[in-house]
Amino acid sequence: MGKTMALIFKKAGVAVTLCSRSPEKAREISTRLGVKWGRVEKAAEHDVVVLSVPTKCLPKVASLLSSNMKPGSLLSDISSVKLPVIRKVLKVTPDYVEYISMHPLFGPVERFEGENIVLVPVRSGVWLSPLSQILKKAGLNVTVATAEEHDKAMALVQVVHHFALLVLNEMFKHPDKWTTRLEAFTTKSLRKTLKNLRRIEELIDVVEMIQRLNPYAKEAREHFLKLAHKLHKEFSAENNI
């Protein structure tokens, strides 16, 4: 996602410097993308710093970098969960640095035009409008939301959606209970679902993080299970053809 964000800002005409804890990796990737590269300790010198790191590392990295950022500069991240993450980041970042959390609603891609991205202004003065314009110029659909609105929407869009796929994935790990010739009976629709299940497994760390950290996740899963049980009872009622 760091590479994707670099491409987004580059397309909008913004000067981009890609940093990594591995200078060699930063140099290699930036050369491929056609942007500058730099060492992590120099990132704080820039007007805007976008953190693309695992959520569990975000507060620590935000603390290390923001303490050296210029007054009025912008710190951002791309975490999939906002409320608990934002609370921690606010505790470790100085008031003179603006903070707008982003959530690109797509994975690592090279063609992102027409995709959605959510901006959550946390400590924002002048940067919300310029950041929105930059992302729109790159071809993204920008939505501004509160942290609460974001996490509640993601409880439906990600938590329940992924939860249903996780359950399906568990079932399809042991198809022999139902058929020993699954491939022969597979429909076009199921092939698409199985492809999504493979993608879920590739992103399992992020998927599980969202399930655990989204403050509305438990309520959303419980509602899903109630509806599933309701439908199960309806379909289990005796019917005659």
Confidence class for position 42, pLDDT limits 50, 70, 90 = confident
CATH number of the domain to which 50 belongs: 3.40.50.720
The answer to whether residue 18 sits within a structural domain is yes
Same domain, 121 and 86: yes
pLDDT given at position 15: 95
Domain boundary among 96, 127, 145: 145
Q: How confident is the model at residue 179 (pLDDT cuts 50, 70, 90)?
A: very high
HEC sequence for the chain: CHHHHHHHHHHCCCCCEEEECCHHHHHHHHHHHCCEEEEHHHHHHCCEEEECCCHHHHHHHHHHHHCCCCCCCEEEECCCCCHHHHHHHHHHCCCCCEEEEEEECCCCCCCCCCCEEEEEEEECCCCHHHHHHHHHHCCCEEEECCHHHHHHHHHHHHHHHHHHHHHHHHHHCCHHHCCCCHHHHCCHHHHHHHHHHHHHHHCHHHHHHHHHHCCCHHHHHHHHHHHHHHHHHHHHCCCCC
Domain end marker among 145, 180, 202: 145
What CA–CA distances, in Å, run from 238 to 124, 126, 233, 234, 241?
59, 63, 10, 9, 10
Nearest Cα to 138, choosing from 4, 1, 2?
4
pLDDT-based confidence at residue 238 (cuts at 50, 70, 90) = confident
Instruction: Return the percentage of the chain with pLDDT > 90, whole number.
Output: 92
Are residues 164 and 125 both part of a single domain? no
46-88 pLDDT tens trace: 999 999 999 999 999 999 999 999 999 999 999 999 999 999 9
Q: Is the pLDDT of residue 103 over 90?
A: yes
The residue-averaged pLDDT of 201-223 equals 97
Would you state the pLDDT for residue 9?
Answer: 97
- Does any domain span residue 241? no
pTM, two decimal places:
0.92
Between the two ends of the chain, the Cα-to-Cα distance in Å is 53
Assess whether pLDDT exceeds 90 at residue 40.
no
Residue 6 shares a structural domain with residue 125: yes
Is it the case that residue 169 has pLDDT exceeding 90?
A: yes
Does the pLDDT value for residue 241 go beyond 90?
no
- The count of domains in the chain is 2
Cβ pair 99, 49 in contact under 8 A: no
Indicate whether 24 and 117 sit together in one domain.
Answer: yes
Say yes or no: 123 and 51 in one domain. yes
The domain in which residue 43 lies consists of 2-145
Confidence band (pLDDT; 50, 70, 90) for 41? confident
Residue type, 55: T
One domain for residues 189 and 170: yes
pLDDT at 117: 98
In contact, 16 and 120? CB cutoff 8 Å: no
Show the tokens assigned to 90.
């606010």
> Is the same domain home to 107 and 188?
no
25 lies in some domain: yes
The pLDDT of residue 110 is: 87
* Cβ atoms 89, 65 nearer than 8 A: no
- Residues 81 and 114 occupy one common structural domain: yes
Q: Is residue 186 part of a domain?
A: yes
Based on the fold, state whether residues 130 and 171 are members of the same structural domain.
no
- Of 114, 129, 145, the one marking the end of a domain is 145
Residues 202 and 158 in one domain: yes
- According to the model, what pLDDT value does residue 239 have? 75
Domain assignment of residue 32, yes or no: yes
